[in-house]
């Protein structure tokens, strides 16, 4: 039985985050994850998580100014980047969240990125994983990481046990070809998996990737994050959930 996490950055965005957590539980998700929860006091999120029994899998550091997509790789922005990291780690600790995705930003500097990631790894509470993600160049031109190989190089260079890479099947499918082969090549360094339809990032039962066939090929026992854009109401996009849960 596969376990899916509802990414509330895209799903149930028509309601406050605590209510989106409750909606995910009612729909049959096993966990939730989010993008930027900081406008909501952590105590309110923790209350909704406790009420529903759902864990929070991950959250992101703040993305910076509109269009920046993160701060951690931006030379000269170290103070802001580390403040965003510390804020995210504190929020994760207060909500029992398992991972923090440190957003790199565009046109970054690798030495700066690594120094800020080392800060994140040093500050992370026990049990909290630091994630980095390669984002395809069609969606975010100029993002610091565009391939799993680049993310793996960063993880390898830092050699921290609490630093892992996010493997988003959508981003890999858009630009890197064989999703299953790419997953196998980086399996030991993967800390979270996400998916959506390729190429439009719609519900995962659409597009050119057959997830009923792909998911059994992935050696992944953890939650799989549903980070897709529904075509209308989220509830109307969930036909895939019972089918893929049993594949």
Q: Is 37 helix (H, G, I), strand (E, B) or coil?
A: coil
| 227 part of the active site | yes
The one catalytic residue in 51, 80, 133, 176 is 133
Q: What is the DSSP letter of 89?
A: H
| 133 part of the active site | yes
Residue with tokens 């799903």: 11
Instruction: Kindly report the backbone phi and psi dihedral angles of residue 14, in degrees, each rounded to the nearest multiple of 5, phi listed first.
Output: -85, 5
Buried b (16+ CB within 10 A) or exposed e, 125-151: eeebbbbbbbbbeeebeebbbbbbeeb
User: Closest Cα to residue 12, out of 29, 3, 2?
Assistant: 29
8 Å CB contact between 37 and 65: no
Q: Is 12 helix (H, G, I), strand (E, B) or coil?
A: coil
8 Å CB contact between 190 and 183: yes
The one catalytic residue in 51, 80, 227, 235 is 227
Report the side by side order of strands in the sheet with 224-226. 31-33, 4-7, 224-226, 190-195, 163-168, 129-133, 99-101, 58-60
Instruction: Kindly report the backbone phi and psi dihedral angles of residue 227, in degrees, each rounded to the nearest multiple of 5, phi listed first.
Output: -110, 75
Q: Which residues are catalytic?
A: 133, 227
């Amino acid at each position: 039985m596969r376990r899916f996490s509802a990414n509330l950055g895209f799903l149930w965005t028509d309601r406050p985050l605590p209510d989106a957590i409750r909606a995910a539980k009612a729909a049959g998700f096993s966990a939730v994850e989010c993008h930027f929860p900081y406008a909501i006091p952590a105590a309110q999120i923790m209350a909704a998580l406790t009420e529903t029994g759902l864990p929070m899998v991950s959250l992101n550091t703040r993305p910076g100014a509109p269009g920046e997509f993160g701060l951690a790789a931006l030379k000269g922005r170290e103070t802001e980047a580390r403040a965003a990291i510390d804020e995210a780690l504190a929020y994760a600790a207060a909500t029992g969240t398992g991972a923090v995705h440190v957003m790199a930003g565009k046109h970054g500097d690798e030495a700066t990125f690594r120094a800020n990631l080392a800060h994140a790894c040093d500050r992370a509470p026990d049990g909290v994983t630091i994630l980095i993600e390669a984002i395809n160049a069609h969606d975010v031109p100029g993002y610091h990481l565009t391939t799993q190989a680049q993310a793996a190089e960063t993880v390898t260079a830092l050699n921290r046990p609490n630093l892992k890479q996010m493997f988003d099947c959508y981003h890999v499918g858009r630009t890197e070809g064989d999703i299953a082969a790419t997953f196998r090549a980086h399996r030991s360094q993967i800390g979270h998996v996400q998916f959506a339809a390729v190429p439009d990032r719609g519900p995962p039962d659409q597009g050119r990737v057959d997830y009923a066939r792909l998911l059994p090929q992935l050696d992944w026992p953890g939650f799989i994050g549903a980070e897709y854009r529904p075509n209308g109401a989220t509830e109307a996009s969930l036909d895939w959930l019972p089918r893929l849960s049993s594949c």
